[in-house]
Amino acid sequence: MAPSALKQAQKEHDEKLTEDMWVVKRVAHKVCGIFAPAFHHLVMNPMEECIEPNNVFSASGEFFFIGVGFAWIITLAAEPEVIANNALKERIGYNNVCVGFDMPPASYVAMPVLALSVAMGCVYR
């Protein structure tokens, strides 16, 4: 392949990649704006002179609820018997919010997200 043809092919590939990335960024922008508006605001405005503390605190709560939600969905899909039969339910008669992320594989996903919640809470403080 001639060097000019190779450069042209690389340029076309880069343009296609840029178009694909634009689509991915737009979808991520919409999803993040819907499910985590405070975190979305912090990410989209990183150069603000004054970061509003309430946005940081709200982002902490958003990460908490997203982490717990993902954990419950994963637990219901991977280990549904844990929801029905566990020591906490036997002891007090109902499930606590923690039951969703107590067992693997949900804990592997939830804990990093919950760590982000704690980090945002520390920034707020």
Q: Which amino acid is at 24?
A: V
Q: Which amino acid is at 86?
A: N
Evaluate whether 66 touches 35 at the Cβ level (below 8 Å): yes
Q: Which of 47, 68, 62 is nearest to 124 (CA)?
A: 62
Residues 20 and 75 in one domain: no
Residues of the chain with pLDDT under 70: 1-3, 6, 10, 13-14, 16-35, 125
Whole-prediction pTM: 0.67
For residue 42, being part of any structural domain is answered with no
As a whole number of angstroms, the distance between CA 58 and CA 120 comes to 9
Domain residue limits at 24: 1-35
Count: domains in the chain: 2
- Count, residues in the chain: 125
For residue 43, being part of any structural domain is answered with no
Half-sphere exposure of 9 (CA within 13 A, CB side): 6
Residues 72 and 31 in one domain: no
Q: Write the pLDDT tens digit of every residue in 28-61.
A: 666 666 667 887 777 777 777 777 888 888 889 9
